[in-house]
A and B are shown apart, each in its own frame.
Chain A
Amino acid sequence: MPEPARKIRVSCVVNGAAASFEAYPMARLLDVLREELQLTGTKEGCGEGECGACSIEMDGQLVNSCLVPALQAEGARIRTIEGLAMGDTLHALQQAFITQGGAQCGICTPGMILAAVNLLAQHPQPDDAQIRAGLSGNLCRCTGYMKIFESVVAAVRQAESRA
């Protein structure tokens, strides 16, 4: 057996708080979040960057955490699903996913909601084509996507009525 590589220490900001962990340099950020930081909201669906269940926000961008090596998380600003709600107050998208039926089995939901958050940051009032394109990297096997689109639309309407 080859001499195992040393683990490294990585420091970053996760959900607004300083975080520090030890990991093999090429450990997946997905595993680090789930195992070292106990943030199990981010899910593994495929391990090949196809399903988006592992989507997180890294430095303001949507990325698949199964494709990011731990070493590259150094100094990054990371947001997972756990960082979306403000205490007990759900984000409008979270609320919409509950009432509009955007979540069925829920395994794609954390990644899907973060993708929707990212979409609305780019397009605050997206049309149907933009919604579909923005969520096209997140696979859902339960819903056929219809009620996910409706959830996004409902959240947009909520934001409009607040403005």
Chain B
Amino acid sequence: MRAFLPAYEMETPRDLASALDCLASAPGVWQAFAGGTDLMVLLEAGKLPRKKFLNIWNLGELRGIVVSAEYVTLGALTTYAEVQRHEVLTREFPLLCRAAAATGSVATQNRGTLGGNIANASPAADSPPALIVYDAEIEMVSLSGARFLPYASFHTGYKRTNLQAGELIRAIRLPRVRARRKQYFRKVGTRRAQAISKICFAGVARVEAARIADVRIALGSVSPAVLRAVRAEEVLRGQRLGSLDLRGAQDALGAEIAPIDDMRSTARYRRSVARNLLAEFVETLVG
């Protein structure tokens, strides 16, 4: 434990309104603390500069999964374990469930939350690519009210988000889709469980009359924030499955990602594997 513990404070607001009040009263001073699976690791490494935390773990307003005709709305405090147990999510948003199962381990899945994960904004997180391809929207609240933002616009750079001072993520909502979609998710980690992602690929496509009517592709760990591969999508959109320009799509993907060398992997590896996973994704469309 490398942190000087006595310097850290934590308070439990009695409800969401008090929490927002507190955040507004001293902008940039308090930080929301949910399950702690990211923040406690930083604390123990002595790498947590902020000192005042708001324990939001018990805020009922941020919990629960609501299913309506148009959306499935997940409270920010939805844990990875809860995601995996939910019947509608399993059926209609399987990539998010796969990502949840691939994050950490049983114990961290019981405490890790979607909202916490998104706010932490690690480019290596496993859920963001799934959220991107599902056209997720983020709901944020503050004393001034609530606003929605497409998740694709939420991350503005490495560990930088659109979340303003005084705001909390309240929910993530996923538009339900009638049409059948082909879905693909693959995380390549350092090992099969409890692994940080070297590269993560989520893909969703609507195939009609042997053509790719629409497609969404998102990757993690290949750029400063989760990346929606719009250029690769563009190449693939409208193409016939039988005569796909896979090479062109791979080249487009190569041009829009910016992988780096780090302790876990290399830029070269990530680049090669990104291309290969795109090929594998396309293969599943054909099959």
Contact = CB atoms under 8 A, between A and B. Distances in A.
Assess A/B contact in the complex (Cβ within 8 A): yes
Given A62-B107, A64-B108, A137-B105, A5 B7 contact: yes
Interface in A38-56: 47-50, 52, 55
A143 B84 CA distance: 30
A49 B192 contact: no
A52 B105 contact: yes
A47 B44 contact: yes
Interface in A125-162: 133-134, 136-139
Interface in B1-29: 1, 5-12
A27 B11 CA distance: 13
Contacts of B106: 62, 115, 118-119, 133-134, 136-137
Contacts of A55: 107
B194 interface: yes
Interface stretch (A12-20, A65-73, A81-89, A95-103): A65-73
Contacts of A79: none
Contacts of A137: 104-108, 193-194
Contact of B10 (A67, A71, A133): A71
Contacts of A69: 10, 33, 36, 40, 55
Nearest to B33: A69
Q: DSSP majority for the B interface? A: mixed
Q: For this complex, into which size category does the number of interface residues on chain B fall? A: 20 to 34
B223 interface: no
* In the A-B complex, the 6 residue pairs with the closest CB atoms: A137-B105, A4-B6, A136-B193, A25-B10, A67-B40, A26-B8
Interface of B: 1, 5-12, 33, 35-37, 40-41, 43-45, 51, 53, 55, 57, 81, 104-108, 110-111, 192-194
10 contacts: A4-B7, A24-B5, A25-B11, A26-B5, A26-B10, A48-B45, A52-B105, A67-B36, A71-B55, A137-B105
Interface of A: 2, 4-5, 24-28, 31, 47-50, 52, 55, 61-64, 66-69, 71-72, 74, 115, 118-119, 133-134, 136-139
Given A25-B9, A69-B36, A136-B194, 5 more contacts: A2-B51, A62-B110, A69-B33, A71-B10, A137-B108
